[in-house]
Amino acid sequence: MDFTLDINRDGEIRILQLSDPQIMYYVNDKETDREKNAYRYIRELVAKTDPDLIVLAGDIVYGMFDKGGAAQKEINALMDSFGIPWAPVYGNHDYESDMGQEWLNEQYRQAKYALYTKGDVLGDSNYTIGIRQNGAYIRELCIIDSGAWTRLKLELQEETKDWILRNAGEAGLPTFLFYHIPTKDFEQAAIEAGYMTEENPHFEIGVTVPAKNGDFGRKKEGYDGRDVCLLPQMKACHVDGVFAAHSHILNTSILWQGIRFTLGLKTGTYDYHDKDALGGTLIRLNGREFTVEHQYCEKR
């Protein structure tokens, strides 16, 4: 493991996923309502869920609009202010920073409570976190760089498959994967579960289509992402939960092939978004078992 999160108590362990806050200082390099909303949501979600770990699932900062790195430094300071371990995932817009990837990597390495290392495969956020409760490991988390549209698109497939096989499921531990851009597996899960058909491309589980297996969430856009399926690697490495972001108005959580595929709620109001589906996603661990639920914030 690259990192170990020690929990020295009984009871559930809570992981909060924040997706696509997309902090950007577009107007005169100053904070606007977009940033205020995102920061309010983050504070509200942390207070509401009291997490043991926070995963920022990519597009943390809209890099091309953060010329001097002020937004990146500010959100890192905000995350550290909670005194809770947090794990950053690279998204496609994080890659647009004029400050460069090594500068950004160093910001994460210097953050007091961030669990971060670049990793030994092409990309900038490939690392593992072991969760140890009362001295015994109960789960592994694999943080994976799914790349930007202009970088890692082809290399993602074989190198990432190999990395998963080398790193996931250590000592037979059940494993979560976290990455930003969803793979083909998410779409396949929706099709195989019978939610998505040619006649019914958009749906809300439990509302417009009956829910199965505790599934939930809303699909208002296509499962556009990586044209690669990682299911064989997941099955080989004890993966039982996969968490992604990137799709601002798509937040389904579907059980398929014994694995729960969840797209997190968007945590910011830039750019397009569903005003009724903003917030975060909470994972509750109880031993080797887990549940997933969205935590909604009100747009004001």
Query: Domain spans of the chain?
Result: 3-297
Which of 54-68, 77-91, 147-161 is least confident?
Answer: 147-161
User: Mean pLDDT across the stretch 17-41?
Assistant: 74
pLDDT classification of 100: cutoffs 50, 70, 90? confident
Residue 152 pLDDT > 60: no
CA distance 172 to 239: 10
Question: Above 70 in pLDDT, residue 132?
Answer: yes
Average pLDDT over residues 226-239: 93
How is residue 101 written in tokens? 């990837």
Burial 268-299 (b: 16+ CB within 10 A, else e): bbbeebbeebbbbbbbebeeeebebebbebee
Q: Which residue has the higher pLDDT, 71 or 178?
A: 178
Residue 99 has pLDDT above 90, yes or no: no
Strands 259-263 and 278-286: unpaired
Fold of 3-297: Purple Acid Phosphatase; chain A, domain 2 (3.60.21)
Work out the angle at residue 295's Cα, subtended by the Cα atoms of residues 1 and 142, and round it to the nearest 5 degrees: 15
Q: Is the pLDDT of residue 105 over 70?
A: yes
pLDDT at 36: 73
Alpha-carbon distance of 76 to 149, in angstroms, equals 25
Average pLDDT estimate for 135-147:
95
The single residue listed with the structure tokens 């005003």 is 275
As a whole-number percent, the residues of the chain with pLDDT over 90 amount to 71
Query: Which of 65-69, 222-226, 261-265 has the lowest average pLDDT?
Result: 65-69
Residue located via tokens 């992604």: 244
pLDDT, averaged across the chain = 91
Confidence class for position 233, pLDDT limits 50, 70, 90: very high
Cβ within 8 Å of residue 200, ≥6 positions away: 208, 209
Q: Which two tokens stand for residue 94?
A: 């994080």
Task: Please give the pLDDT value at position 53.
Answer: 98
Predicted local confidence at residue 32, as pLDDT: 58
Provide the pLDDT for residue 173: 97
Residue range 25-49: mean pLDDT, rounded: 76
| 275-285 per-position pLDDT tens digit | 899 999 999 99
Ranking 43-57, 63-77, 208-222 by mean pLDDT, the lowest is 63-77
For the whole model, what pTM was predicted?
0.95
Would you state the pLDDT for residue 64?
Answer: 78
Confidence of residue 155 (pLDDT cuts 50, 70, 90): low
With cut-offs at 50, 70 and 90, classify the pLDDT of residue 34. Answer: low
Check residues 156 and 110 and name the one with the higher pLDDT.
Answer: 110
Has residue 67 got a pLDDT over 80? no
**pLDDT for res 122:** 78
Categorize the per-residue pLDDT at 63 as very low, low, confident or very high, splitting at 50, 70 and 90: confident
Specify the pLDDT at position 66.
79
Q: What percent of the chain has pLDDT over 70?
A: 93
